Amino acid sequence: MPRLQISDKRKTRLAEKLGIAGLRVTEPRLALAHLLFRHGNRHVTAETLLDEALRAGLKVSQATVYNTLNQFQAAGLLRQVQVDQARSYFDTNIDAHHHFYVEDEARLIDIAADAVNVAKLPDSPAGYDVERVEVIIRLDKKAAKK
């Protein structure tokens, strides 16, 4: 029984998205999809998404948030970004692109694919295909000017 208001038009659009991904259309999934996809590209963790959902008045369990994130990722609606041992980040931007990561703030920032040019790549070991090339630029807060 979500307390979140979603227009019928939007519901239909999200339901379609879930359907195409091969996922059943359920209320928790619709609501989480709404939160995830309503405002451009985002980075969430299970924790931040659950918080957001609860604050929005949704009655979703932690388990459902985890399941949903994993299913969305398996279905290609989200991409997992591995920058921090402590927690999993999910990115609503599923196009090829890269990331800045500010460790001190646990903050991810997208980098458009064409802003990075990987000019030379080594051959992959025999028997293996490249699945994805990830560029992660780790950032530090700038030291005080001397």
Say whether residue 84 binds its own copies (CB under 8 A): yes
Q: Name every residue whose Cβ is closer than 8 Å to that of residue 23 and which is 6 or more positions away in sequence.
A: 29, 71, 72, 75
Here the tokens at position 33 are 């999809």
Q: How far apart are CA 81 and CA 99, in angstroms?
A: 9
Here the tokens at position 122 are 């080594």
Say whether residue 116 binds its own copies (CB under 8 A): yes
**Of the candidates 62, 116, 137, 138, which one interacts with DNA according to CB under 7 A?**
62
Q: How far apart are CA 97 and CA 119, in angstroms?
A: 15
**Of the candidates 3, 63, 117, 144, which one interacts with its own copies according to CB under 8 A?**
117
Residue 47 interacting entry, from DNA, its own copies, none, C-beta within 5 to 8 Å by type:
DNA
Q: Name every residue whose Cβ is closer than 8 Å to that of residue 2 and which is 6 or more positions away in sequence.
A: 27, 28, 31, 56, 57, 58, 59, 60
Q: How far apart are CA 136 and CA 8, in angstroms?
A: 39
Q: How far apart are CA 140 and CA 36, in angstroms?
A: 28
Say whether residue 144 binds its own copies (CB under 8 A): no
Residue 26: CB minimum distance to DNA, A: 4
Residue 7 interacting entry, from DNA, its own copies, none, C-beta within 5 to 8 Å by type:
none
Q: Which stretch binds DNA (CB under 7 A): 19-27, 96-104, 107-115, 127-135?
A: 19-27
Residues 49, 69: contact at Cβ < 8 Å? yes
Residue 38: CB minimum distance to its own copies, A: 24
Say whether residue 46 binds DNA (CB under 7 A): yes
Say whether residue 63 binds its own copies (CB under 8 A): no
The contact set with its own copies (CB under 8 A) reads 80, 82-85, 88, 100, 102-103, 109, 111-112, 115-122, 124-125, 127-143
